[in-house]
Structure 1
Amino acid sequence: MKHVQLTLIGLILVLTGLWASADTIWFDAFAIFNFRTSMLNYTGILAIGAMSVGMLLALRPRGRIESFLGGLDKSYRLHKWLGITALITAIAHWLWVEGVKWAVGWGWLERPARKGARPVYEGLQGWLAGQRGLAEDVGEWAFYAALVLIGLALIKRFPYRYFFKTHRWLAVVYLVLVYHSVVLMKFSYWTQGIGPVVVVLLSGGTVAALISLTRRVGQTRRAVAVVDEVEYHEDNRVLRVAVSLQSRWPGHQAGQFAFVTLDPREGPHPFTMSSSWKGDGKMFFLIKALGDYTNTLPATVKVGDLVQVEGPYGRFSFQGRHPRQIWVAGGIGITPFIARMQSLCEQPDGKAIDLFYSTSAPDAEFIRRVRRRAEQAGVTLHVVIAAEHGRLTAQRIRELVPAWAEASVWFCGPTGFGQTLREDWVAQGRSPDDFHQELFEMR
């Protein structure tokens, strides 16, 4: 997560430094209206800069970017915080516009008298000056739209199927704000260091917005599959969906996930592959009924259905320097570990592994299969049923794994549970880099 924080802070600091070196606020005598102009430019640059990087991350980039951030789940966490940053700075931008107007209207400030005629500009600067009125108007309405759309995206109770549709409209809002920014940014900035950086950000964000609007995000990573098998474990409300790929798939590693479209009206949802890749086009997913959509799947997914699989994504790779690993699965968080155990059955890695499977809704048949897979893979399984054994704690893990200090931890499950374990891990003097966690919250 530190790379997510460093990227966000770094972006703000770079844009702040470039703006500070280009603006004349430091040399002009202080006047509230001149200061207001500088703050408008500053907050506007921060807002459009954050939105631009957020648009680029919406393309679900892989390779070095995904590796640096620690996986697509971490990229989406950065995407979320960029959206919050853009929202806060855009509100500040709007307040500098309207707040001074209010202060003048209330008699708190006096607008300075205009000295002489307005300057007449030629060429590009003249054209931009002629666009100011329109750019201000459309920018204001785009701000209101962004306020609503980003706000909805941050409300977790807002249904995903509506979020999936409304969030795409942010690309249109972004394009309007690009026009607003190009026209209204102080013209002298374009010849300073901030100018080329803004050009790169706006150009990249514009391309990303167009890709999003034409629904081509992840297009080259999509494969068509047919549902081969559907099995529902009623006790723990987990649906097993096995599919056969009908088009090219690059393969995947245990712990990775894909965006699966079971219903085009609902859109793609991220699910972890619960099977290792054997090159035969077969894979399966374990899907927990956690919301409106996943609750309907046992009744709607049928053998023979066509589905779309996009991926693979993620860096939950089980790679590390330690001779021992501790796996902790909370509920449906067992899925990446099932895939890894299948992989270990075919190619052991020699590590000593303890798997803690904590569940509040045990299914006897499901647990029997997990236990059998663990035995085949040489993994020591600890099943913790909340109603019988109480909650799984870090202290209990350390008691059951005396050599815990020689291990790395791989956690997949509820965010709060993971945070508690991570804090205890660090409090015991261990490095947070040896605690690996998959973030399922994509919004």
Structure 2
Amino acid sequence: MSAGAVLVWSLIGFAGLLVVPAVSHTNAGTTFSLMASSMAFTGMALALFMATRPPFIERLFGGLDRIYQTHRRVGITVLVLILVHYFITPDFKGLSLTGGLNKLAADAGKYAFYALVVLLLLSIVKIVPKTKVEIPYHFWRLTHRFIGLLFVMAAFHQTFIKRPYDGTAMLATYLNIFAMIGTLSYIYTQLFPWLRTRTYEVFDVARHEGATIISARPVRRPLRARPGQFGFFRVNKPGLREPHPFTIAGMEDDGTVRFAIKPLGDYTKALRDGIAIGDRLKLEGGYGHFNHRRGSKKQIWLAGGIGVTPFLAMAGRLKGDEGQDIHMVYCVRDRSEAIGLDTFQTQADKLSNFSFTLHDSKTDGRLDAAKLAASSAVDPAGADLWFCGPPLLRKSIEKGLKDLGKTPRRVEFEQFEFR
């Protein structure tokens, strides 16, 4: 577990601990219910904070992808906790500012509860159980935005509802701090499109069999990103305005960027058909810690299909003075799907520390650990394995290398799923 995840769960747990001295004069049911509500409220505030995608805490989690994994787990925990609070009703003689505010706070809590249960379920469940019906991303994202408003209602509820402790209790101060954190985080996320994005203009679109290659230059300030990072991408035209995360396949010194996007879903298919030269893009980033410079001296890069994009960006920036020996293996179902071969081959011909192998599954058969080890100029045993592609391929290669007695020093990959 990352340091960031430990911090998040510790802050949530501490809210529960603070309840005990504040309500010790009540009964066990009340204590348990208020522990659940306090922890749920703190968890919601932290989830809203994580949704702001703060770059300065990425290193605590090991990348934005890990932040979102924790974000999702916190969401599930909050759902369970608010159900506990709802079904175990507190029973106490408490303090309230006025009868009117207490009634408003009670109503706010009730309506926020029902709405939160629905929205949290929509956030957690991607496919309707026992069906093939998948909740559309744009619908998920639209409904997800209302969670911040519901948090404000919950903050009003916990501030003005009758409670068995006064405003000077440490618990009250703690929850007030997180009320402020959550509210400010929600406001910030709504201002994201104006504060954090950069405007780009498309100057080239190449539709290959394996991917759509989009090249764009900055209109004003360029994106700040390192090779291997990803950004959030949206096009300023109908049907393409929802931001989606894509790895940056190339970035020049003047800020010019390239994205290689495979048409796999509704958005990426619409993007392939609809994007054109002259379109304006809104980009945000870069995010992620997928960068070979923090790796060891011996590395194997393994790309599966469109997972080649971060390696395109990293290989294109190699100069030969990195002090690292790198072998790149690019696995495709058919050679016709491969992109960026010129970049890899040119660098392999020019640099002594970089070599390259294309694995065409149609002619070479399925890639396994034995074939990887045989084709690599770098011995997998004790080397870093940097991977981007289908999880099943990674797991198969990891297990195979272990069985061969060639376990890598470490395996680096990103959990590239944000929902």
Q: Which category describes the TM-score, using the shorter chain as reference length?
A: 0.7 to 0.9
Cα pair 2:262 2:306 within 8 Å, conserved? yes
Q: Which residue of 302, 305, 319 maps to 1:328? A: 302
Distance 1:190 1:287 in 2: 53
Match among 245, 250, 254 for residue 270 of structure 1: 245
**Deviation of the 1:424 alpha carbon:** 6.8
Q: Who is 2:345 aligned against?
A: 372
What amino acid sits opposite 1:372 in the alignment?
Q
Following the alignment from structure 1 to structure 2, what is the Cα–Cα distance between the partners of residues 423 and 94? 45
Instruction: Give the CA deviation at 1:388.
Output: 3.5
Relative to structure 1, is the Cα distance of residues 140 and 361 closer, same or farther in structure 2, using a 3 angstrom cutoff? farther
Q: 1:259 to 1:365 in 2, by over 3 A?
A: closer
Residue type of the alignment partner of 1:44: S
- Distance in 1 between residues matched to 2:402 and 2:146, nearest whole Å: 41
Q: Provide the rounded CA distance (Å) in 1 between the counterparts of 2:295 and 2:261.
A: 31
Does residue 385 of structure 2 align to residue 409 of structure 1? yes
Q: Secondary structure at the match of 2:339?
A: helix
**C-alpha distance in structure 2 between counterparts of 1:226 and 1:356, whole Å:** 33
Instruction: Pick one of 53, 64, 80 that aligns with 1:88.
Output: 80
Whether 1:202 and 2:184 are equivalent positions in the alignment is no
CA distance in 1, matches of 2:74, 2:53: 15
**Partner Cα separation in structure 2 for residue 232 and residue 248 of structure 1:** 27
Report the CA distance between 1:359 and its aligned residue: 2.2
Confirm or deny that 1:229 pairs with 2:204: yes
Residues 33 and 88 in structure 2, CA contact (< 8 A), matched pair in contact too: yes
Query: How many Å separate the matches in 2 of 1:171 and 1:45?
Result: 17
Matching residue within 151, 158, 176 for 1:181: 158
Letter in 2 for 1:281: G
Q: CA deviation at 1:317?
A: 1.9
Q: Does structure 2 retain, via aligned residues, the 8 Å contact 1:175–1:209?
A: no
Say whether 1:143 aligns with 2:113.
yes
Cα offset, 1:94, TM superposition: 1.7
Q: Which amino acid aligns with 2:84?
A: A
Equivalent in the alignment of 1:259? 232
SS of the residue aligned with 2:9? helix
Amino acid at match of 1:288: K
How many angstroms apart in 2 are the aligned matches of 1:209 and 1:153? Answer: 16
CA contact (8 A) 1:254 1:273 kept: yes
Query: Aligned runs of 1:248-327 on 2, under 5 Å?
Result: 248-249=221-222, 251-263=224-236, 265=239, 266-278=241-253, 280-320=254-294, 322-327=296-301
**C-alpha distance in structure 2 between counterparts of 1:303 and 1:252, whole Å:** 23
Structure 1 residue identity aligned to 2:381: A
- Give the superposition deviation at 1:59: 0.9
- The percentage of aligned residue pairs carrying the same residue is 27
Which amino acid is 2:360 matched to? Answer: I
Q: Distance in 2 between matches of 1:81 and 1:193?
A: 27
Corresponding residue to 1:59 among 52, 74, 83: 52
State how far apart, in whole Å, the 2-side matches of 1:206 and 1:263 are: 28
Could you tell me how far 1:342 is from its partner in structure 2? 0.6
CA-atom RMSD, angstroms?
2.8
AA aligned opposite 1:42: M
Displacement, 1:43? 0.8
**CA, structure 1 residues 136+194, in 2 after alignment: closer, same or farther (shift >3 Å)?**
same
Deviation at 1:276, TM superposition (A): 3.3
Alpha-carbon distance between aligned partners in 2 of 1:242 and 1:52, rounded to the nearest angstrom: 38
Q: TM-score, normalised by structure 2?
A: 0.87
Quote how far apart the aligned CAs of 1:321 are. Answer: 5.2
Summarize deviations over 1:398-437 as a string: whole Å, max 9, x none.
Answer: 44446323312212122344455566778979688x3221
Does the CA contact (< 8 Å) of 2:382 and 2:406 recur in 1?
Answer: no
Aligned pair in 2 of structure 1 residues 189, 49: CA closer, same or farther (>3 Å)?
A: farther
C-alpha contact (below 8 Å) 1:253/1:277 kept by paired residues: no
Cα separation, partners in 2 of 1:73 and 1:328, compared to 1, 3 Å: same
Tell me the CA shift for residue 186 of structure 1: 3.1
Q: Distance in 2 between matches of 1:174 and 1:256?
A: 32
- Greater than 6 Å deviation, 4+ residue runs: 423-432
1:126 to 81, 91, 97: 97
Matched-pair contact (CA < 8 Å) for 2:250–2:312: yes
Distance 1:397 1:263, change over 3 A: same
SS at match of 2:415: coil
CA distance in 2, matches of 1:416, 1:337: 19
State the AA in 2 paired with 1:14: F
2:31 corresponds in structure 1 to 38
**How far apart are the structure 1 equivalents of 2:401 and 2:179?**
42
What is residue 160 of structure 1 aligned with on the other side? 137
Rounded Cα–Cα distance in structure 1 between residues aligned with 2:212 and 2:329: 21
SS of aligned partner of 2:59: helix
| 384-393 or 45-54: bigger deviation | 384-393
Q: CA deviation at 1:134?
A: 2.5
Checking the alignment, whether the CA contact within 8 Å between 1:358 and 1:392 is kept in structure 2 is yes
Equivalent in 245, 256, 267 of residue 218 of structure 2: 245
Q: Which amino acid aligns with 1:211?
A: Y
Structure-2 change in CA distance of 1:351 and 1:295 (3 Å): same
Retained in 2: the 8 A contact 1:252–1:277?
A: no
Mean Cα deviation higher: 398-407 or 145-154: 398-407
Cα distance change, pair 310–184 in 1 and its aligned pair in 2 (3 A)? same
Local SS of the residue matching 1:363:
helix
Per-residue deviation, 1:145? 1.2
In the aligned structure 2, how far is the partner of 1:292 from the partner of 1:311?
23
Change beyond 3 A, Cα 1:385–1:150: farther
CA deviations 1:111-160 (Å, max 9, x no partner) are: x9x9xxx88x6xxx433x54233222222221221122122222333211
Separation (CA, whole Å) in 1 of partners of 2:119 and 2:366: 38
354-363 or 174-183: which moved more?
354-363
Runs of at least 5 residues in structure 2 that lack an aligned partner in the other structure: 127-133
Structure 1 residue 8 displacement after superposition:
4.2
